[in-house]
Amino acid sequence: MRFTTSLNSYIAILTFLLINCLGAQSQINLELFDKNKNEIFAASIVAANDSLDSQVISYTSKSKDGIYRVDIPSHIKLDSIWLTIRHVSYRTKKIFVLNKSQFFSIELQEDKNLLDKIFLEAQKSLIIKGDTLSFDTQSLQKQQDYTIEDVIARIPGVSIKQDGSISYNGRLISHFYINGLNLLEGKYNLATRGIPATAVEDIQVLTKHNHARIDQGRTNSDKVAINITVDKENVIFGSLKGDVGIPFPLYNVEATPIFINKKFQNLSTTKTNQIGTDLSVEGNKLTPLDYSIKAISQESITVLKEPNTTGQAISEKYWRDNTSYSFSNDLLFKNDQSTEYKLGLGYNQNDNEFLSTTNSTYFLSNEQVVLNNQSQNVFDDKNFTGAFVIEENKKEKFAKNKFYVNLKNGNGSSSNLLNDQHINYLFNREQVQIENTYEIKKTIGNTLFSNVLIAQYHKTNEESSTSPIVFPSQISSTSNSESTLQNIKLQSLNFGLSSQFNFRTGYLNWNVNQKLFWRSEQLASSLFQEPQQTEVFFPFKSDFKLNTLKSNSDISTSYKYKKMVVTLSTSLEYNHLTRSEGFDSESDLQDCFLFFQPRLSLNYKFNNDFFVNITSSFNSKISQFSNLFPSVVLQDYLSLNLNPTQINKTTTQTNSLYSSYKNIIKGFYANIRVSSTKSVSDFTFTSTIDDNGLNTINAIERDNEVSTLSITTDVTKKIADGMLLTADYNFSNNQTETFFNGTLLDINNQNHKIGLKWSFDTGSWYGFEFNGNYEKGISSFAQISNSNKNLRGAFDFSFYLNSKSRWNIGGELIRASFSGNSSVNTNSLFNSSYHYQPSKKLKLRFEILNIFNINNYTIINNSANFTSQYQYQLRPRQFNIGFTYTL
């Protein structure tokens, strides 16, 4: 809904919504002492509506003159409340009291070693205390495990992706600590892939984690964190790894020196290799951005597509031809119990080469368009990052300031044989990102206020050159035109503010969140044939500017009844856009949008292990900057894009069900997610592909509906000591409309994927690991149906010859097929390695990869109205000798 109401009236409404009137309150005073009548300090006292602390009413950890004062706000209408008293050296005590001002003198029983809940297995391999799971590293570690990442991957419920990001029970971890300190600010793959497993005493999984101490006892959290305890202090330790082999030069060198003590931590990494491992993920933030920051921040914008050097399905060590370098240094200094200073610097460079062949068929009821493309891609990526962080983390205050700089440069080329025509594509990109984020949390009375302020400046320059010329009928050309040039310059400035506070009235918990940002973005572009004969005009030349003011007022309330929690959220979002085009005043636009976005959630907790959540939401959004500039853009050598001239509004209704069950003691985890989404937008996109394989993408003002149903389920079970089984199933069904070569198609896409991972290693004479998946895709429209099948399996056998040596056999299998073709593509890769450990700190290995020297592998994908067969060239057979040494 569009409107022209004044901004002052809107701000007045927001101000009214944010008013929280606090009245008189009752005060419960407590005196705590031990059996010898000595006063007890440093206890924490939580006032809640039940004995489980489900809804926290008030909290204190301070005593004045030996008296703890718990203030109960007047809006709490409960007749009675529960008080929970905790201290590290005494037993937890719970008392049920009347909600009125009164005094208690309470004796606590000393029991330094009492835990809330303990399960001991295999010499204390797992200890459960409250929401913390502690795993003994020695009990998890196997002979082939070298870094702490190898050991963490053995924890039931944990999964680790190729970039090193860690999930527990389907949720990405929010923090990674070393001896309780968050040194790496989310770049934890530097630690997990560099710290030797032998240097870590135990691994803690922290569920319901609050990083800010001021949140503890006040905010219910669903975040998960990991803390590793290093048993070394005031010494330099770490790891050193090296490989050398043929075809020459084949090398890999990794060094990670680490220094740890109570107030200072420093972790450095230096890596270089030609073994296929891409180091671009080194130093990337792997933890998800906090919602209050993400909602007001801006991602870096790019327009042109870089040459692709990424394969699929099998390990990158088989197909990536690379030369990579990486260096980083992160240090942390803690000057007292609450204040930390952190400095992080990082640089990586990756020069990758990749050869692939793509055969795609685009279907219509009465015609087919075939695209055959053999592509030799090269891409060199350089990346520098720097960050300085000051953090103060106290019970009564949390403050954090982070200054961040990121400089990137990428250049590459793509040499293609597209439908028997040679096309060369050159690409270059330079990026600058400067950001500063400030967070502060404080309490006023019993209300917790949280504020975030962010300032960002981004700049990007992109260039591409395609020869011979492409799209000659759309882009003005002459008989002597040799190449097509695209130049893009982007700049953006963003200021954002987020404020929220929590309070309670009666049986209801309330959260008020106000987000506001102002953003200025600019694009200058030109697209022309070289040599340039005439002046370039709009829309092939652009000087585009967009200013955005966005405000989001979110109020949510939750009500708990026995084991059920109902949460209702209402969001009022205001958008004001001003856009201008220097070369076409008719494209100028100024408009306002107001959206009402409700969300209802129901959570039922059967017990501490099993719960079900049902959510329904309605959301509206408008086009972002990348979909608003009206100029013509050649995204790569075969895709010409033209955005719609008007603002595209999309409304989405989502209904989802999520259920989770976990039994930590038995090592059993199960999750199921079912989601149904229906989106309606104002525009339908069209795609026109000519006989040369060149694709023109446009948009017409026509409502387009997209419906998606997805089901995801996974199960993890620790069957016995050393045996772990994980199985998952993913299903998606997508229905949408699109125009292809002038014909409207109603397309249905289905995808099924089944995954299985089984590992078995009891420390006897052998170990085994299998990781496989089966995927089937089906796309249909009118009377045409296309399908593909991909089967992938990876296995690894370890035979322990004696206490110092191990022989390994491994391999990967790809089997791909698609409808309309009777042939089945099968690729089998086999490896073998021998490992010898002459001392506790040194391991030697002799390895041969791709024993039978397979040249390429093939997979199949289909979507919408096309099927594509991808064939990637593999690295030749390689033999290397390597070592790992623990410092």
Cα(250)–Cα(309) distance, integer angstroms: 19
**pLDDT, mean of residues 405-426:** 96
How are strands ordered across the β-sheet holding 166-168?
Answer: 158-160, 166-168, 171-172
Q: 80 lies in which domain range?
A: 7-107
Distance CA 748, CA 653 (A): 19
CATH number at residue 61: 2.60.40.1120
pLDDT of residue 782: 82
Q: How far apart are CA 664 and CA 660, in angstroms?
A: 13
Q: In the structure encoding, which two tokens stand for residue 100, read together?
A: 């009125």
Residue 832 lies in a domain: no
- Nearest-10 Cα torsion for 59, 65, 67, 70: -30
Q: How far apart are CA 470 and CA 134, in angstroms?
A: 60
- Least Cα distance to 645 among 578, 589, 577, 705 occurs for 589
Question: How many residues would you count in the chain?
Answer: 887
**Phi, psi torsion values for 334, nearest 5 degrees:** -115, 110
| Same structural domain, 31 and 96 | yes
Q: Please say if the pLDDT value at position 17 is more than 50.
A: no
pLDDT value at residue 271: 96
Running DSSP on this structure, what letter comes out for residue 760? E
The enclosing H or E element of 104 equals: strand 102-107
Residue 853 belongs to some domain of the structure: no
Is the pLDDT reported for residue 1 higher than 60?
no
Has residue 158 been placed in a domain? Answer: yes
> What pLDDT does 20 receive?
36
- The pLDDT of 15-24, averaged and rounded, is 39
pTM across the whole model: 0.85
Are 98 and 131 in a shared domain?
A: no
**Does residue 180 sit in the same domain as residue 130?**
yes
Q: Domain check: are 14 and 59 in the same one?
A: yes
Asked, for residue 97, whether it belongs to a domain, the answer is yes
Confidence of residue 361 (pLDDT cuts 50, 70, 90): confident
Whether residues 204 and 174 share a domain: the answer is yes
- Chain centroid, CA 206 distance in Å: 19
Asked whether the predicted pLDDT for residue 551 surpasses 70, the reply is yes
Q: Is 664 helix (H, G, I), strand (E, B) or coil?
A: coil
Whether residues 167 and 212 fall in one domain: yes
Ordered DSSP codes for 190-221: HHHTTSBGGGEEEEEEEES--SSGGGTTTS--
Q: Which two tokens stand for residue 757?
A: 């991972």
pLDDT at 493: 98
In whole angstroms, give the CA distance from residue 305 to residue 635: 6
Would you call 865 helix, strand, or coil by DSSP?
coil
Beta carbons within 8 Å of 821's beta carbon, 6+ residues apart:
none
92 and 138 housed in the same domain: no
* Residue-level pLDDT at 16: 38
Whether residue 124 has pLDDT greater than 50? yes
Element (H, E) at 610: strand 610-622
Region 102-116 average pLDDT? 71
Q: Could you give the CA distance from residue 695 to residue 685 in angstroms, rounded to a whole number?
A: 12
The C-alpha R_g of the chain, in whole angstroms, comes to 30
Q: How many CA atoms lie within 13 A of 807 on its CB side?
A: 4
User: pLDDT per residue over 675-733, tens digit each?
Assistant: 999 999 999 889 999 888 899 999 888 999 999 999 999 999 998 778 899 999 999 99
Q: pLDDT tens across 150-180, in order?
A: 999 999 999 999 899 999 998 999 999 999 9
Task: Return the structure tokens found at 669.
Answer: 């985890």
Tell me if 131 is assigned to some domain.
yes
682 within domain boundaries:
no
The per-residue pLDDT for 76 is 76
Residues 98 and 141 grouped into a single domain: no
**142 and 52, same domain (yes or no):** no
Task: Check pLDDT > 80 for residue 851.
Answer: yes
**Among residues 224, 114, 60, 10, which one has the least CA distance to residue 662?**
224
Contact 620, 649 (CB under 8 A): yes
Dihedral through CA 226, CA 232, CA 237, CA 243, nearest 10? -50
Strand order in the sheet with 200-207: 126-129, 132-136, 200-207, 224-230, 175-178
- Burial class (CB within 10 angstroms; exposed 0-12, middle 13-18, buried 19+) of 434: middle
Q: How many CA atoms lie within 13 A of 593 on its CB side?
A: 21
In this prediction, residues 769-795 reach a mean pLDDT of 92
**Residue finishing a domain among 219, 235, 251:** 235
CA–CA dist 432, 301 (Å, integer) = 11
How far apart (Å, rounded) are the C-alpha atoms in residues 429 and 486? Answer: 12
* Rounded Cα–Cα distance for residues 500 and 296 (Å): 13
Asked if residue 64 and residue 142 are part of one domain, the reply reads no
pLDDT band at residue 337, thresholds of 50, 70 and 90? confident
| Percent over 90 (pLDDT), the chain | 62
Q: How confident is the model at residue 799 (pLDDT cuts 50, 70, 90)?
A: very high
Mean pLDDT of the chain: 89
Q: Are 32 and 85 in contact (CB under 8 A)?
A: yes
Contacts of 109 (CB under 8 A, 6+ apart): 35, 90, 91, 93
Highest mean pLDDT among 191-195, 342-346, 499-503, 742-746: 342-346
Supply the CATH number for residue 197's domain: 2.170.130.10
- The residue ranking higher by pLDDT, 615 or 313, is 615
357, β-bridge pairs: 374, 871
pLDDT of residue 117: 47
pLDDT recorded at residue 123: 47
- Banded model confidence at residue 12, pLDDT cuts 50, 70, 90: very low
Mean pLDDT value across residues 551-574: 93
Contact present, 583 and 541 (Cβ < 8 Å): yes
Q: How many CB atoms lie within 10 A of CB 4?
A: 6
CA distances to 384, 617, 790, 816, 818 from 857, in Å: 34, 43, 12, 9, 15
Q: Is the pLDDT of residue 813 over 50?
A: yes
Domain endpoint, select from 204, 235, 266: 235
Kindly state whether residues 68 and 142 are assigned to the same domain: no
Q: Is the pLDDT of residue 53 over 70?
A: no
What CA–CA distance (Å, rounded) separates 393 from 333? 14
Domain assignment present for residue 670? The answer is no
Dist CA 141 CA 144 (whole Å):
8
Q: What is the C-alpha separation between 536 and 475, in angstroms, rounded?
A: 10
Number of domains in the chain: 2
Span 290-302, average pLDDT:
91
Closest residue by Cα to residue 246 from 847, 860, 863, 857? 847
Q: Decide if pLDDT at 122 tops 60.
A: no
User: CB neighbours (10 Å) of residue 476?
Assistant: 16
Using CA atoms, how far residue 641 sits from 157, 395, 618, 629, in Å, is: 43, 53, 30, 11
Within 10 angstroms of residue 530's Cβ, the number of other Cβ atoms is 16
572 or 77: whose pLDDT is higher? 572
Q: Which of 371, 488, 357 minimizes the C-alpha distance to 415?
A: 357
**What is the rounded distance in angstroms from the CA atom of residue 287 to the CA atom of residue 772?**
27
pLDDT value at residue 52: 65
Is the separation of the CB atoms in 776 and 733 below 8 Å?
no
Asked if pLDDT for residue 482 goes beyond 50, the answer is yes
Q: Which residues of 378-414 are buried (b: 16+ CB within 10 A; e: fewer)?
A: bbbbbbbbebebebebbbeebbbebebebebebbbbb
Q: Annotate 854-878 with b (16+ C-beta within 10 A) or e (fewer).
A: beebbbbbbebbbbbbbbbbbbeeb
Question: Does residue 667 sit within a domain?
Answer: no
Which of 49-58, 636-645, 690-699, 798-807 comes out lowest in average pLDDT?
A: 49-58
Please indicate, yes or no, whether residues 140 and 230 belong to a single structural domain of this protein: yes
With cut-offs at 50, 70 and 90, classify the pLDDT of residue 771.
very high
CA gap 593, 759 in Å, rounded:
54
Contact between residue 853 and residue 874 where contact means Cβ atoms under 8 Å apart = no
Return all residues near 374 (Cβ < 8 A) that are at least 6 apart. Answer: 355, 356, 357, 416, 417
Which of 48 and 360 is assigned the larger pLDDT?
360
pLDDT band per the 50, 70, 90 thresholds, residue 36 = confident
Q: pLDDT (tens digit, 9 = 90+) per residue, 172-222?
A: 999 999 999 999 999 999 999 999 999 999 999 999 899 999 988 777 788
Condensed to tens digits (0 to 9), the pLDDT of residues 456-481 reads 999 999 999 999 999 998 998 888 89
Closest-CA residue to 399 (of 355, 350, 440, 434): 440
* Domain end among 212, 235, 258: 235
